[in-house]
Structure 1
Amino acid sequence: MSSFDPITMATQLATYDIQAFQQRYQIQSDKYQGQLEALGKVESALRDFRTAVNAMNSSSSNIIKNSATVSQDGYFSANANASAMTGSYQIFVEQIATAHQLSTGMPADLDPSTEIPTTGTLEFTVDGQTMTLDLSTVDTDADGKATISDLVSAINNDPDNPGVNATLVRSNGQTHFMLSSEETGVANQINVTASGTGATWFEDAFTNTTDISVAKDAVIWLGAEGTGLKLENSSNTFTGVIDGVDLTVSNAQTSGEAPITLKIGPDDEATKEQINNFIDAYNTLATTLSDFTNIGGEDSARGVLANDPTLRSIDSQLTSLIRGEYDGLSLNDVGITINREGKMELDAAKFSDAQNNNSAALEAMFNGDGNLLDSIDTMAEPFLMSNSGLFSNRKDTLQQNISRIDDKQVGLERKYDMSYDRYLKQFTQMNILMTQMNQTMSMFGQS
């Protein structure tokens, strides 16, 4: 009677006891994990589509793009948004805005380590805002002394600073204490006084200042110099002077020169680029939805989210929005259609015709309040909310299912260990008995 290996027998039987459960749990886990990954990809595609939509539906960017061109470079640039009206304008740049910059009348032997008074105040006023610097606070190391370098840091880092930058500038072997306004324009001129310091040289330095750059407002004429509409601005950027157009001046013209022509018109290529971005983002989402909701057939596998209610809801709502009418106009009317594969296509000629002949309606269809792009954003919101969105809830449920299966797997491991110990004990005893029987039989000459 031959012996056997109890460990091998115990391993085989204990494995057999849990094998069916292991296979079932693994199938379930793979299914939930596949659904979880698929939901993540669909969520990402929907989020990307929504991001693309919102990038075309903001205060600074619309579907319709306009261009601004100037007849002469070097004096101003212009940017036209979707609301800008087509037209030609004459602009004369009389003066650009500059920031106030002054040098204080500090001693000629000034250097960063020059000591300053530690009593009294420095008061700065810019555009109606005032900062009062207590000079006793400039001494940060409590050694009873403060330097001009400490003063620079104290001014620049004061939380009440109204827009003044202090700096030390070295020129021709001398160090100069300078103050500069952070903003351009007459209103941002720097006014500074020192008082109560007991140091005449220090207080005189802030009385006897020299302007390095005078604060000026930008001045332009909408039309010819002297006869057009005069416009002034503290900044070099004029916003909304012409509806939908921002002008940024960079250099002044010489008096008597002719104004520069600014032309505003539609930018066909930029608008088509916007449309193509919209189409590409939609098609990426449509492909992702199709891949995971495919019901399967002879030539294709069933999608891991076939008949999933969340994806069905997205597809249904999105289809309704894309095929809808907005202010009496639909995507199909302007050359944007859905083909048999569910992909969006552009008829460039039809879209160009709509852009040239009915641009206001085209823009309103996409960007009007509550119209296409707004509606897409509203539709996507409940799905994409970070904590309580439908995707978040679905993924949480699937993750909980996976966790429960993991717990069951742990239970199977305990069951395996218990079965293994029981089988090992039984087969070890059986092996001992067989060994004893073999020894007994050998005493009678049997083998």
Structure 2
Amino acid sequence: MSDFDPSSLATQLAGYDIIALQTSIAKQTKNLEAQTKALDALRGALTSFRTSIKGLNSTTASVLKNSATMNMEGIATVTANASAKKGTYSLNVKQLATAQQKSFEDLDDDAIKNATGTLKIDLNGESIEIEMDGLKSLADFAEAINKTDFPSASNSSTATTGQNGITASLMRIDGKVSLIMNSDQSGAKYDIQLDTSGMTSDQTIFDNQETVTAGKDAIFTLGDSTKEYYSSSNTLDSLVDGVSIKLTGLTEDKKPLIISVDTDTTETQTQIQTFIDAYNTLRETVSGLTKTGSSTDTRGAFAGDASISALSSELSNLLRGTFGEQNMTKFGITADKDGKLSIDSEVLEKQLKNDPQTVAQFFNGNDGLIKSMDKSLDKYLSTSSGLLKGRQETLDRQQTDIDTKTEKMNTRYESSYNRYLKQFTQLQSLMTQMNNTMSMFS
């Protein structure tokens, strides 16, 4: 009787009652965990690939890389994007664009405090109004200007970050404070004009103004021509297609700035290699998840899954396709028997010398390879209707089903345990009574 334990027996028998269900749930859980892990791996691989190819195809990035070199330093900084054509350009810079700056030295806090009415400030055909009533100092006046945007600066499509048209500041020299107004834009047309006709008192407080820096246009000539061209900005983005020129200095007489634009073969190959590496990594991940397995290899979580296997076929078909009237072999890109890509540098270099724009057309065209691949990925990664979203929902339902079965199994176990415990406890009590009775006779 000392070894008879109702609780241990109840636990053992209750465990036998649920062993089949427990085994089934364990198997389902293991499969679900494998599917979830595989789905996360696939989602991560697809997302990484999409990020990589988008990084090669944006308003500021392209597979084709051009370089711009200059014959001298200190005159300009130059960059060339994928649309730039090979060429040499000669530029004579005679004047840099400057922004107008005006000072008001005799203006003080008392003058601002006593002024009333409306001050109108004009700049390049636009204006703002400053209510002078309630302003108590130069600092208040400067803040009122800085908080008021000109119409073009308020337009989200044309506004420049940190620019509202005019910026007012205070300058302190030898203990004396002066108000400074700066045009946020360079160029002769940005001339700051104050209209005091709307002020009801002290209209003359702004009369003593000085132009510290005149607003000027950049002036330059091209080649040997004497015709002068003007630009309100030192940044010349539309002078040569695909080339941005930011003027920083003046050229000497008969010593023009020579800008040479050419294809950067090394950087272009690096960009293509980035694409190849990203594709090979994705393909390796998908292949591992869909492999059928063998006696020496494990079976992938998505083995035999037609929709996942179709991803590799779809991407492979896109790679073999024609974009911009070109195919990837034109640039020395080939695939081995396993679908892994590699590049022949000599073939690529030859094509870049013959017609570099074909690289941009193939990869970055409006109907190019990268956009086509990105569109293809959307059917898998779309957060509203993507295949992976549907798969995740299925796995979530399976997890809910397992949780429900587990809850029922636990309920069944508790019921069996309590029943067995009651029975064995009664048996133990009965045996104790019988033992006590027998001891009376002995």
* TM-score with structure 1 setting the length: 0.90
Establish whether residue 353 from structure 1 lines up as the match of residue 376 from structure 2. Answer: no
1:46-125 matched pairs, under 5 angstroms: 46-107=46-107, 110=108, 116-117=113-114, 119-125=116-122
How far residue 352 of structure 1 moved from its aligned partner, in angstroms, is 1.4
Change (3 A) 1:292 1:438: same
Q: Which of these residues, 231, 234, 249, is aligned with residue 233 of structure 1?
A: 231
How far residue 434 of structure 1 moved from its aligned partner, in angstroms, is 1.1
Which amino acid is 2:188 matched to? V
The whole-number CA distance in structure 1 between the counterparts of 2:103 and 2:435 is 113
SS at match of 2:426: helix
Query: 2:251 matched to which residue of 1?
Result: 253
Change (3 A) 1:400 1:235: farther
Change (3 A) 1:341 1:7: same
The whole-number CA distance in structure 2 between the counterparts of 1:24 and 1:212 is 86
Q: Which of these residues, 364, 389, 394, is aligned with residue 391 of structure 2?
A: 394
How far residue 115 of structure 1 moved from its aligned partner, in angstroms, is 5.6
Q: Which of these residues, 368, 372, 379, is aligned with residue 369 of structure 2?
A: 372
How far residue 127 of structure 1 moved from its aligned partner, in angstroms, is 2.6
Question: 2:93 touches 2:249 (CA, 8 Å); kept in 1?
Answer: yes
Which amino acid is 1:274 matched to? Q
Question: 1:100 touches 1:215 (CA, 8 Å); kept in 2?
Answer: yes
Change (3 A) 1:320 1:97: same
SS at match of 1:183: coil
Query: 1:172 matched to which residue of 2?
Result: 174
The whole-number CA distance in structure 2 between the counterparts of 1:135 and 1:198 is 10
Establish whether residue 299 from structure 1 lines up as the match of residue 296 from structure 2. Answer: yes
**1:280-302 Cα shifts (integer Å, max 9, x gaps):** 11111111111211111122111
* C-alpha RMSD of the superposition: 2.2
Establish whether residue 324 from structure 1 lines up as the match of residue 321 from structure 2. Answer: yes
The whole-number CA distance in structure 2 between the counterparts of 1:55 and 1:407 is 45
Which amino acid is 2:147 matched to? N
The whole-number CA distance in structure 2 between the counterparts of 1:229 and 1:408 is 86
The whole-number CA distance in structure 1 between the counterparts of 2:197 and 2:227 is 45
SS at match of 1:403: helix
Q: Which 10-residue stretch deviates more, 164-173 or 53-62?
A: 53-62
Query: 1:142 matched to which residue of 2?
Result: none
SS at match of 1:131: strand
Which amino acid is 1:231 matched to? Y
Query: 2:158 matched to which residue of 1?
Result: none
Question: 2:216 touches 2:232 (CA, 8 Å); kept in 1?
Answer: yes
How far residue 38 of structure 1 moved from its aligned partner, in angstroms, is 1.7
Change (3 A) 1:228 1:267: farther
Q: Which of these residues, 411, 416, 419, is aligned with residue 419 of structure 1?
A: 416
Establish whether residue 208 from structure 1 lines up as the match of residue 226 from structure 2. Answer: no
Query: 1:152 matched to which residue of 2?
Result: 142
Question: 1:104 touches 1:176 (CA, 8 Å); kept in 2?
Answer: yes
Question: 1:33 touches 1:402 (CA, 8 Å); kept in 2?
Answer: no
Question: 2:169 touches 2:181 (CA, 8 Å); kept in 1?
Answer: yes
**1:93-125 Cα shifts (integer Å, max 9, x gaps):** 111111111112434xx46x9862363112122
The whole-number CA distance in structure 1 between the counterparts of 2:227 and 2:295 is 74
Which amino acid is 2:435 matched to? N
Change (3 A) 1:291 1:208: same
Change (3 A) 1:2 1:62: closer
Question: 2:381 touches 2:387 (CA, 8 Å); kept in 1?
Answer: yes
SS at match of 1:221: strand
How far residue 196 of structure 1 moved from its aligned partner, in angstroms, is 4.9
Q: Which runs of 5+ in 2 are unaligned?
A: 154-163
Which amino acid is 1:176 matched to? S
How far residue 167 of structure 1 moved from its aligned partner, in angstroms, is 1.1
Question: 1:155 touches 1:166 (CA, 8 Å); kept in 2?
Answer: yes
The whole-number CA distance in structure 2 between the counterparts of 1:228 and 1:412 is 93
Query: 1:126 matched to which residue of 2?
Result: 123
SS at match of 2:189: helix
Change (3 A) 1:159 1:273: same
SS at match of 1:88: strand
Change (3 A) 1:360 1:196: closer
Q: Which of these residues, 170, 183, 186, is aligned with residue 184 of structure 1?
A: 186
Which amino acid is 1:153 matched to? E
Query: 2:279 matched to which residue of 1?
Result: 282
Q: Which of these residues, 250, 263, 267, is aligned with residue 264 of structure 2?
A: 267
Q: Which runs of 5+ in 1 are unaligned?
A: 140-145
**1:216-247 Cα shifts (integer Å, max 9, x gaps):** 122222214xx255332222111131122111
Query: 2:306 matched to which residue of 1?
Result: 309
The whole-number CA distance in structure 1 between the counterparts of 2:38 and 2:205 is 71
SS at match of 1:205: coil
Query: 2:157 matched to which residue of 1?
Result: none
The whole-number CA distance in structure 1 between the counterparts of 2:344 and 2:12 is 67
How far residue 59 of structure 1 moved from its aligned partner, in angstroms, is 3.4
SS at match of 1:186: coil
Which amino acid is 1:184 matched to? S
Which amino acid is 1:286 matched to? R
Query: 2:241 matched to which residue of 1?
Result: 243
How far residue 73 of structure 1 moved from its aligned partner, in angstroms, is 0.5
Question: 2:122 touches 2:195 (CA, 8 Å); kept in 1?
Answer: no
Change (3 A) 1:16 1:375: same
Change (3 A) 1:159 1:426: farther
SS at match of 2:116: coil
The whole-number CA distance in structure 1 between the counterparts of 2:14 and 2:55 is 60
Change (3 A) 1:413 1:231: farther
SS at match of 2:228: strand
Question: 2:119 touches 2:199 (CA, 8 Å); kept in 1?
Answer: no
The whole-number CA distance in structure 2 between the counterparts of 1:229 and 1:8 is 105
Change (3 A) 1:170 1:412: same
Q: Which 10-residue stretch deviates more, 323-332 or 239-248?
A: 323-332
* TM-score with structure 2 setting the length: 0.91
Which amino acid is 2:278 matched to? A
**1:55-100 Cα shifts (integer Å, max 9, x gaps):** 2223333222111000001011211122222111111111111111
How far residue 276 of structure 1 moved from its aligned partner, in angstroms, is 0.8
Query: 2:426 matched to which residue of 1?
Result: 429
Establish whether residue 363 from structure 1 lines up as the match of residue 353 from structure 2. Answer: no
The whole-number CA distance in structure 2 between the counterparts of 1:430 and 1:82 is 90
